[in-house]
Structures are given as structure tokens and as C-alpha cells.
Amino acid sequence: MSPQLLFWLLGGALMLSSTTALVCHKGYLIHIANRSEFPIRWSVNLNETCQIGERCQETLILLESGHQVTAITNQGCTSAQAHESKDIQHRAPPGVTIASFTKVCQSDLCNDLDSTVPLWTIEPTDLPAPGGLQCPVCMSLRSCPARASLVTCPAGTAHCYSGTIHLLGGDLSHSLKVQGCVPQDGCQLLNGTQTIGPIALRESCQASGALTCYQGLFIYFGKNLREQPKSLAAESEVTCEAGEVCHETVLFIESGPDSIILGSKGCIRPESAASSSTEIGPPGIIIASYTRLCNSSMCNNISSTASILKQSPPADAAPGNLLCPTCVTLGSFCFTGPLLACPKGTSRCYEGTLQLSGGGLSSDLTIRGCAPPNPRDCRLLGKTQAFGPIAVSEDCGQQSKDQFFNRVSAITAQAWGVGAAFLLGLWGNLPQF
């Protein structure tokens, strides 16, 4: 065989190798159990064909806290460079431990990991310190119980940890709740680790002294609803980040017989808002807000509108009987009923939209009604840019008649309650706290 032909055959073989897609095992597993159930095994019955140039990878992560162990596995294709198997201990004993095993290989189905054996130690590495610190121990993809089982912490630990490890990538999108014993306070469980194989890890935890606050979002609307106080009680709770305090904010808007209340409770950084009250009107459209910040756990506990409710007498009709359409609604357009005779002190018909964002709320709010004169522009809010944690901007003027409710309220926090059909009057004397 000639040297030229041999070179051509070798070149062809190399080209074929570099342009052939690999087939890899594909799958992931999150298994939480007592230590006595480990080591565990699994089988991967699904394969995938990689993109040209990709390789096969396998990743195993073990987290241990007391008697509980979480195994996280991921297998599939990757664009990472090939490397032999690596064992890394991201958090060593004592207390909560995190270790990982990764490998990237470049032959079909070479990512055939099927057990936790590569990372498993038969005996626990922690020895309890009699009479020492006791901490709750928990690992869960949901939530840890309020009274998780306590363990006596091992020598070398001095703090109780409670936090969440967020896992994203490699088909994973999960949050693992973790409680246990650690040597140092604070959010340092990952020791700076940000990725393991294709999985990105992020940590959030409860800092020492962090407040627990009521959390909720309330949306009530209807006609002539200020006659009966309504509930502002929130059933959900949230643990604040370090430096945050509790807040509760209520925004009330009324135009003619139509009214709406937006209420928010939760955590807030004190420099982003202040305890305050705002009142615009009467006569005509009424906009009022109430915000309270407090710095003890569960202090944002106003449970009813009764403590801040004050009825207002009906306004006299204005001379000349100015008539305006009235409505208040979430969305970018609201339908109106019969025209309303405007009260004294008003001289124009207002139509505008408030863009609200923050405090768990993201929505347009459309208002039409009677308004006092404003020689500068059409706005009602003047320089007001926020109601507590709720940022607001105003766009006033005529709306196109073919617009409908196409920007409806979006609640961005989980486990927030929504009510319906009540009105709150906030003007006048506010309660003192």
C-alpha cells in the first residue's frame, strides 16, 4: 500500500471519528432516605444521541445531614472537555457534608454509573459530642416540618443551619431544603461551589436574627364596599433575608361607586420604603395608601380593615352637573355604566392607567372618573412614585376604544392569598403603632 493511500485512509478515519455523534445514557435521580438505605443502585433505560462534538457525562452528588442522605445523579451529553473520574469533597465533616463524583468520556454509553458506591463510606464520619448542641435535621424537596427531629451535633460544630440549595441544569430545576449542624454561621454551606458537572447550585439560607413575617397579597374590588370591614389576615409566613424588616401596605382607589383594594405583606429592606400614608382627593377620584414597617417577627399583623376604616359622607353634585364615566379595574381598559354627576370641586373627566410593580404585584390599573382641575397636566399622582414597596407610574389621557383587559394582574410570589370584593377607606386619622 502506498504511503499516500495510507495517509488518506488514516485521514478519513480521523474525520469519521470527529463527525460521528455519540450515544449516551440519559436521566437524573433525586433520592432522599435514611443512611441505613445506602448505598443505592439505579438503572438508566433512556439513551440520547449527542450533538456532533459532544461527549457523555455522569454526575453524582451526595449530601449528608445527621441520619439523612440525599443522592443527586445526572447522566447525558455535554460539551465539556473529557476528563477521568473526579471525587471532590465540597464540605467536609463535621456536620452537613457535600461530596461529588464527575466523569466526562467519549465513547458510546460510557457514562454507565449505576450506584452511589464511588462516594459511599460505610461508617459515618461524625461522632456525637454528648451534651453538646442539638439541631433539627431535615432534607426535603418540599418543606421541612416545623418540629423536625433533633440530633446531638458532632464535636466541631457550633451552629444550626437552615437553608435551601437550588439545583438548575441537566434537566434539573429543584430546590432542596437542608437543616443540620455546621461549624460556622451564615450561608456558607457550598463553600463557593457554583457548578458540579452540568448542575448549577445556588444557596439561600436563614441568617441569625432574621425576622419571620406574614406574607400575602390581597385584591378586593366592587361597588360601594366601604360599609363593611374585610379581612387582611395572611396565613403564609416568610423568613426575611438579613437586614430586612416586615411590612404591610394597603392601596385604596375609589371613583364613583367603583372601588379597589390592593394589599401586600412580606419582607422589605427598610431603605427602600418607609412607614407612611398618602391621600389624594376627595373630591372626585380618591387614592389613599397606608404602609407600615416594623422590626419584630410577625409584627405585620393587621387582620382587618376595621382599624383603618373611616366612612366618608356623599359629596354634593357640582353646579352645572358635569357628567363623567367612572370605573376602577385591573387591566388596561374598563367598561363604564351610566355617567356620574360629579361632586363640587371637580371640573374635568379623568382617564388614566397606573403601572404597579412590587410587593408581589405586577399589573396595570385603569381609572376613569371626576377630577379637580390641574393646570399643569392630566396626572392625579403628582410626584408620588411608590406606595410602600409598590412602585407606580401614571399614564393619563384617552385610551383606544379597542383595548381590552390584556394586562391582568400577575402574582409573582408563591403561596400568596387572594380575596375578592371589599373596599377600604384610608383617609382621615390612621392608627398609631
Number of residues that make up the chain: 433
SS3 294: strand
Rounded to 5 degrees, φ, ψ at 271 are -75, -10
**254 forms bridges with which residues in the sheet?**
259, 286
Using a 10 angstrom Cβ sphere, with 0-12 exposed, 13-18 middle and 19 or more buried, the burial of residue 414 is exposed
Amino acid at 197: G
Which set of grid coordinates corresponds to residue 199? 448542575
Which set of grid coordinates corresponds to residue 4? 499516500
pLDDT of residue 132: 67
Please tell me the pTM assigned to this model.
0.50
Rounded to an integer, what distance in angstroms lies between the CA atom of residue 370 and that of residue 350?
Answer: 6
pLDDT of residue 311: 62
Amino acid at 322: L
pLDDT of residue 295: 82
| Tens-level pLDDT at each residue, the chain (433 residues) | 444 433 333 343 333 344 689 999 999 999 999 999 999 999 999 999 999 999 999 999 999 999 999 999 999 999 999 999 999 999 998 999 999 999 999 999 999 999 999 998 766 655 555 546 888 899 999 888 867 778 888 888 888 888 889 999 988 999 999 989 998 877 889 988 999 999 999 988 766 567 788 898 988 888 876 777 778 888 788 878 777 889 999 888 988 888 888 889 999 888 888 888 888 888 889 888 889 998 887 889 888 777 776 666 566 666 767 899 999 988 877 877 788 889 888 889 999 999 998 888 888 999 999 998 887 788 888 888 888 889 999 998 743 333 333 223 333 232 233 332 222 333 333 333 3
- Which secondary-structure segment (H or E) carries 263? strand 258-268
pLDDT of residue 19: 66
Q: How many CA atoms lie within 13 A of 147 on its CB side?
A: 0
CA distances from 201 to 169, 239, 296 (A): 9, 21, 31
Rounded to an integer, what distance in angstroms lies between the CA atom of residue 116 and that of residue 246?
Answer: 44
**352 forms bridges with which residues in the sheet?**
367, 396
Which set of grid coordinates corresponds to residue 265? 405583606
Chain centre distance of CA 28: 25
Q: 382: left (phi > 0), else alpha (psi -120 to 50), else beta?
A: left
Which set of grid coordinates corresponds to residue 219? 385584591
Radius of gyration of the chain (CA): 31
Q: How many CA atoms lie within 13 A of 79 on its CB side?
A: 2
H-only helix segments in 390-430: none
Q: Specify whether the CB–CB gap between 308 and 290 falls below 8 A.
A: yes
CA distances from 95 to 39, 75, 140, 158, 405 (A): 20, 28, 17, 9, 54
pLDDT of residue 271: 83
Q: Specify whether the CB–CB gap between 118 and 101 falls below 8 A.
A: yes
Output the DSSP codes for 45-105.
Answer: -EEEEPPTT-EEEEEEEEEEETTEEEEEEEEEEE-SPPEEEEEEEEEPSSSSEEEEEEEEE
